Chain A
Amino acid sequence: MRDWIEDNLLGKVEKPLRYQGNEMNAVHKDWDSTTLRMVFAFPDVYEIGMSHLGLSILYHQANEEPDCLMERVFAPWVDMEGMMRENNIPLFSLESCRPVKDFHGMAFTLQYEMSYSNILNMLDLAGIPLRWWERSDDDPLIFMGGPCAYNPEPLADFADVILIGEGEEMNLEFYQVWADHLRAHGGKMNKKELLDEVVNIPGVYVPRFYDVTYDEAGRVTAVTPNHPDAPRTIVKRFLKHMDNAFFPEKPIVPYLDVIHDRAMLEVQRGCTRGCRFCQAGMLYRPVREKTVGELEEQARNILCNTGHNDLSLTSLSTSDYTSVDILLRSLIAEMAPRNISVSLPSLRVDNFSMNLANEMQKLKKTGLTFAPEAGTQRLRDVINKGVLEANLESVARMAFSSGWSKIKLYFMMGLPTETDEDLDGIAALAYKVIQIGDEIRRENGGKGPSPQVTVSVSGFVPKPFTPFEFEPQVRGEELRRRQRYLRDKIKHKRVTYHYHDSQVSYIEAIFAKGDRRLGQVLYRAWEKGCKFDGWGEYFYMDWWMEAFEECGLDPEFYAYRQIPYDEVLPWDHISCGVRKDYLIREHQKAMRAETTIDCRTGQCHACGACQDLDVKLDLKGGWLRVNTNAVPQD
């Protein structure tokens, strides 16, 4: 099959390397000598999937098991899909170029809601019936995980199994039960029996084992198990410590330039700053850091095995890592002589030491990015973003004096309680930064490029498991008015204004907080041709609206409704550790514009994560010192 595809299709598609595999460090295991054969399916193109650290971790972890094999498949781009359909080529894996249908299992990662239509399309391309009740024992088992799996309800019709939590902790257990099942059944699956077995693994969610009831208004009234072993609440699995956790030291090196074309090293997991819009901050509690020694060792091995010339220290907020100074200095000292740069993907205004930025700058010039998220102190307090205007000003001052000339500011629009005054604040902040830049340039005798600011604004999407899960999204017409309002406010020729499309974020909001009935909508939308919804050019709002209409569901019900605290949420039977009553308390504080201090200072707010999951913050550098200037008080 590979030769035929190379000869007849790849010559005609954009970026043929997307479909060829054979990269350095890709794992090619012997098909016949493994018991459980799975394919990791990333519902987006190769370059995006290969930039994703989670894929790398789970792929290499599975392949280290002697009886497991895991290959990869990505969503073929539209040109390739067209040719595959024309020539009856089913979706095939990268490593062995086998039809995906030949595997025992297909693992989808749910990174963003707008990739759901691609999941359906990939199943169809693979020749696998889309809904679980249409599939036979000979079809692969479809399992899913990742951040969006915490509200997997819109995918309940399509998934056999959803894994809730951190894959490194639970997947091997799941694979072993599955492999034993295969051995006991001569290499075949009896899915009914298999599900009866895996449902007993903590963190495993089998959607069909639950019944959902609704009231006449369409609100969920109860989610009840209909299987004797199905737990009432599925609690996430997670690593108690990151030390000695599996981390791939021989990751795949793509031939094709991918989005993050660098070695990635995860320094910690979790973030407890408690920004109220941030889902990841709630899902991955508590904070667990790796030791400096382990990180140095891993960095050395990864660079030696990949040959990358850039090492990126990743996590939700790397500059919060308690030993970031020590780690960066030691890595830079070791890597600089080999012309390897070290970078942090995101910098925070309030804690980032300019000296470190300068150290990194020595090796590589990149623009500086800050995310104040909101334009006024009041709104920043509502969202609990601990950034003061004074912080931003002093950082901007330091950045310009150290020779940076371009600063990018990220904001969200449509946050709860936002008014036009907050939008004025965005414009004012941008002007302030330019003004600081101009002053410093003048002081330096007008040398160097003129300062430039980019204001990048995205629409706010309320997410489950955040204090804003109860909040409606701002209506589309109103959002567009606010966009125009802000655009008219920003008239400086060195301030660029970018706005991300609001229609996509409407669908995103619906699916983020959706229930099971959205499965039909998704199916209809896919039938109409929806795919690659995250890629502007392939997003067709009309198709989505028609799909809702035809299924008799009201999209506004999902996106634009203020939800009372006592309403049953479609995801209430899933737990990420953080309790609903904590989210309610946080929501109430938000409405009063009261802030909550980071619990890494030693002040626990009893969010539930440490109490219910029996775990503690794991900070290698001790409690955070409270700097009253930088961190708002509780």
Chain B
Amino acid sequence: MSHLDLMHTWERVIRRSQLPLGFSQGFNPHPKMNFASACAVGTTSDGEYMDIELTRDMPLEEVKEALDRAMPPAFEVTQMKVVEGKVPSLMSIMERASYRLRLEFVDDVTQQQLDAAMEEFFKREEITVFRYKKNSKDKKPVNIRPGVFEIRMEAEGKYAVLHILVQTGNDFNVRPEEVAYGLMSAGMPAVLNVVRIHRNGLYLLDKKGNLITPLDVV
């Protein structure tokens, strides 16, 4: 689902729920809601965050109940907290994202092949992938290596499941499929198809460098 489709879907959920949603002032009023980070089209996710502003205080249970009633089948609100006063946008505070990918290879792969590619990947200082420039057909090289923190892989015949932890946020973003391409440049056998991408969660770092969720902060 594109970011725009997601926003519209949420606006409708909140309107159906009859919650007193706040609107921006001006000629074209926008509902006051913000998302942590856009998921690419086709990616499923278990860990999304959004904040919405209501025009009056309401007990959380009531808000949750209203949302649950208005939710389309594929959506679920798992946790909520009240945020008071001005807070930085969710988008700007996120630092890490974890994903699970399923890769389909041209031929069967072994665990050794995968482990070797991973080792090589972390040994290098630069792993270059090509990214399309905005609104253009040109590509530019990007070094994703500093933005990749963890990789785990399990071979399953022609398939492999990949768990990764990468950087996200306003400054630098690593896209999950780029890690697969990067691994190929580090010697992993050729991937035929990235079958499924699933986002497990989005995180911030605490002072000790541990992963925490936005809900742990407020």
**Nearest-neighbor residue (CB-CB) of B73 within chain A:** A22
Q: Are B70 and A307 in contact (CB under 8 A)?
A: yes
Q: Are B16 and A257 in contact (CB under 8 A)?
A: no
**Nearest-neighbor residue (CB-CB) of A364 within chain B:** B28
Which residues 59-111 of B have a CB within 8 angstroms of A?
Answer: 70, 72-74, 102
Chain A residues positioned under 8 Å from B31 (CB to CB): 339
Known: A16-B41, A305-B16. A11 touches B23 (CB 8 A): no
Majority DSSP secondary structure for residues of B touching A: mixed
Instruction: Say if the beta carbon of A496 comes within 8 Å of chain B.
Output: no
Q: How many residues of A contact B (CB 8 A)?
A: 28
Chain A residues positioned under 8 Å from B74 (CB to CB): 22
Q: Which bucket holds chain B's interface residue count? A: 20 to 34
Bound Cα distance A305, B17 (Å): 9
Chain B residues positioned under 8 Å from A338 (CB to CB): 15
Bound Cα distance A261, B41 (Å): 19
Pick from B120-128, B162-170, B188-196 the stretch touching chain A: B188-196
Residue with the greatest number of chain A CB neighbours at <10 A, chosen from B5, B11, B31, B194: B5
The distance from the CB of A559 to the nearest CB of chain B, in whole angstroms, is: 41
**Nearest-neighbor residue (CB-CB) of A20 within chain B:** B74
Chain A residues positioned under 8 Å from B194 (CB to CB): 11
Q: Are A24 and B5 in contact (CB under 8 A)?
A: no
Q: Are B23 and A24 in contact (CB under 8 A)?
A: no
Q: Are A253 and B195 in contact (CB under 8 A)?
A: no
Q: Are B72 and A24 in contact (CB under 8 A)?
A: yes
Bound Cα distance A10, B42 (Å): 7
Q: Are A309 and B11 in contact (CB under 8 A)?
A: yes
- Residue interface bits A224-260, CB-to-B below 8 A is 1, else 0: 0000000000000000000000000000010111000
- Residue interface bits B1-26, CB-to-A below 8 A is 1, else 0: 10011001101111110100001000
The residue that A23 contacts in the complex, of B8, B11, B72, B102, with Cβ under 8 A, is: B72
Chain B residues positioned under 8 Å from A22 (CB to CB): 72-74
Bound Cα distance A253, B14 (Å): 13
Known: A22-B72, A307-B14. A11 touches B195 (CB 8 A): yes
The distance from the CB of B10 to the nearest CB of chain A, in whole angstroms, is: 9
Q: Are A11 and B196 in contact (CB under 8 A)?
A: yes
Bound Cα distance A306, B73 (Å): 14
The residue that B9 contacts in the complex, of A26, A255, A364, with Cβ under 8 A, is: A255
**Nearest-neighbor residue (CB-CB) of B72 within chain A:** A24
The residue that A261 contacts in the complex, of B8, B14, B28, B195, with Cβ under 8 A, is: B8
Known: A7-B102, A11-B196, A307-B15. A255 touches B1 (CB 8 A): yes
Instruction: Say if the beta carbon of A48 comes within 8 Å of chain B.
Output: no
Instruction: Say if the beta carbon of A308 comes within 8 Å of chain B.
Output: yes
Bound Cα distance A304, B41 (Å): 28
Chain A residues positioned under 8 Å from B195 (CB to CB): 7-8, 11
Instruction: Say if the beta carbon of A17 comes within 8 Å of chain B.
Output: yes
- Residue interface bits A74-87, CB-to-B below 8 A is 1, else 0: 00000000000000
Bound Cα distance A8, B41 (Å): 15
Known: A253-B72, A305-B16, A307-B12. A339 touches B29 (CB 8 A): yes
Selected A-B contacts with CB under 8 Å, 25 pairs:
A7-B195, A8-B193, A11-B42, A11-B194, A11-B197, A17-B5, A22-B73, A23-B72, A24-B72, A24-B73, A26-B73, A255-B9, A256-B5, A257-B4, A307-B11, A307-B12, A307-B13, A307-B16, A307-B70, A308-B12, A309-B11, A309-B15, A338-B15, A339-B23, A365-B28
- The 10 A-B pairs of least Cβ separation, nearest first, read A307-B12, A307-B15, A307-B16, A24-B72, A7-B195, A22-B73, A11-B42, A339-B29, A339-B23, A22-B74
By a beta-carbon cutoff of 8 Å, the part of chain A in contact with chain B is 6-8, 10-12, 16-17, 22-24, 26, 253, 255-257, 261, 303-309, 338-339, 364-365
